[in-house]
Amino acid sequence: MMLSKSNSVNKLFLKYLQTKANNKCCFTSTNTDSLKKTSLNQLHKDLGGKMVEFCGWEMPVMYKTGVLKEHLHCRTNSSLFDVSHMAQLKIHGKDRIKFFESLVVADLEALPKGSSKLSVFTNDKGGIIDDTMITNQGDCLYVVVNAGCAEKDIAHIQSKLKQFKEKSGASDVHMEILGEQSLIAIQGPKTEEILQKLLGKSSSVDLGKMEFMTQLPMNISGIPCIVTRCGYTGEDGFEISVHSNQAQKLAEILLSCTTPKEQGILPAGLGARDSLRLEAGLCLYGHDLNEDITPIEGTLAWLIGKRRREQGGFPGANIILPQIKDGVSKKRVGVLIQGPPAREGTQIIDPITKQPIGNVTSGTLSPMTKDSISMAYVPTSLSKVGTPLTLLIRDKEVQGTVTKMPFVATNYKKI
């Protein structure tokens, strides 16, 4: 067995997490001094986090108990993830909706105040520049983008902003980068109960009535926070935006708020975050989505509302909209294998000609079902649920089946 320095083992794993499109920013440096650090950096180290480089940030890939236990704890209790490496932005001004609709496929006009929506930035070829979460805060749009894409996204928004002002004459719009805000996700079935207790009896917030994909300002043990009910695990949960100088205090409160501790919130790293999102059938940008994949190929047509389908007006609409009607030649599917995990890059071959016909974009062994689960792109003719597929894993042919996603039932809040 080849085991190089412990860092390289992590690198191997992280290569799998890393954004292909962002090779420039990921894993080029081994000098941790040059890495960006979140406000929870010291806390991760104190908690025994195994720190690795991720898209220019020093982040915990796991803690002492390991990825599997962290994963299962999130499915049964509640887990804390530091997601401060993602960039938080605000789009201000009365022309903000018109401007942002010229970048993303979402119907933002129809997005009620206090509601959030998953969307994608598209390019002129119809490919996906990044996925993003957009919230209508009433007086502005609150936008969260991926760490690995942040630099590129911000430059893209700035350049589009310039064009927008020149072209439309509409000038009342500008972008604010929330550089002083941290982002902490708490996820899992016990999260609502734990957070409600922390809010205290005097709080006017009733989490039982807070819908999934909505946002509220909250005061958590005296710390002002903006809380969105959303996540990346398939579980119910919240993402908490908090001022960086209060972030560590908040994390410590969250991690120490229940007895016995085993039933409360425990920290989880990037490893568990990846296996959780994959079980939930959620895409990882740079792997399952990239600038050469359209939302239709990525089976994300549901992100494009009726009005946007009729009116277009987002980059690449001339390519994306006809695809809704006429179909696409390849599609993202879930693949279930009784056997070894099919990692990213695993070829899918024609069982007779042995020619490659598709490939796996992420894969792991599901900690919940113990099945080998993957996302892959295959020809549309082979994308129906139940279709048998042949995969080439370490030169061995392995049989898989196209499967409906999520692989593990999601547990989002329903009212």
Partner 1 sequence: MLSRTILRSINQSRSLYSIRCYSTGSNIRFTKEHEWIRLDQDVGTVGITDHAQKELGDIVYVDLPKVGATFKKSSAVATVESTKAASDIYSPVSGIIVDVNKDLESAPELINEGPLDKGWIFKLKLTDKSEFDTLLSKADYDKIAENH
Write out the residues near partner 1 by the rule CB under 8 A: 1-3, 5-6, 9-10, 12-13, 16, 62, 66-68, 271, 275, 340-341, 343, 364-365, 367, 372, 394
Nearest distance from residue 12's CB to partner 1, in Å? 4
Nearest distance from residue 347's CB to partner 1, in Å? 15
Closer by beta carbon to partner 1, 93 or else 339: 339
> Both ends of the chain: CA-CA distance in Å?
51
Peptide bond into 379 cis (omega under 30): no
290 bridge partner residues: none
Which of the 8 DSSP states describes residue 407?
S
Dist. CA 107–CA 101, nearest whole Å: 7
Closest CA to 220 of 184, 190, 189: 184
Closer by beta carbon to partner 1, 243 or else 343: 343
Dist. CA 100–CA 120, nearest whole Å: 11
Dist. CA 25–CA 338, nearest whole Å: 36
Strand duo 215-220 + 128-136: pairing: unpaired
Closer by beta carbon to partner 1, 4 or else 329: 4
User: If residue 104 lies in a helix (H) or strand (E), which one and from where to where?
Assistant: none
AA letter at 177: I
The sheet with strand 140-145 has its strands ordered as: 116-122, 128-136, 140-145, 87-92, 174-177
Closer by beta carbon to partner 1, 328 or else 373: 373
Encoding tokens for residue 153?
């996204």
Nearest distance from residue 26's CB to partner 1, in Å? 16
Residues 6+ apart with CB under 8 A from 342: 335, 360, 363, 372, 374, 376, 391, 393, 398, 400
Nearest distance from residue 215's CB to partner 1, in Å? 33
Closest CA to 289 of 20, 53, 1, 76: 20
**Is 239 a known ligand-binding residue?**
yes
Closer by beta carbon to partner 1, 114 or else 340: 340
Closer by beta carbon to partner 1, 143 or else 393: 393
Closer by beta carbon to partner 1, 350 or else 371: 371
Nearest distance from residue 38's CB to partner 1, in Å? 22
AA letter at 240: I
Nearest distance from residue 1's CB to partner 1, in Å? 5
Nearest distance from residue 370's CB to partner 1, in Å? 8
Binding residues for substrate: 239
Binding residues: 239
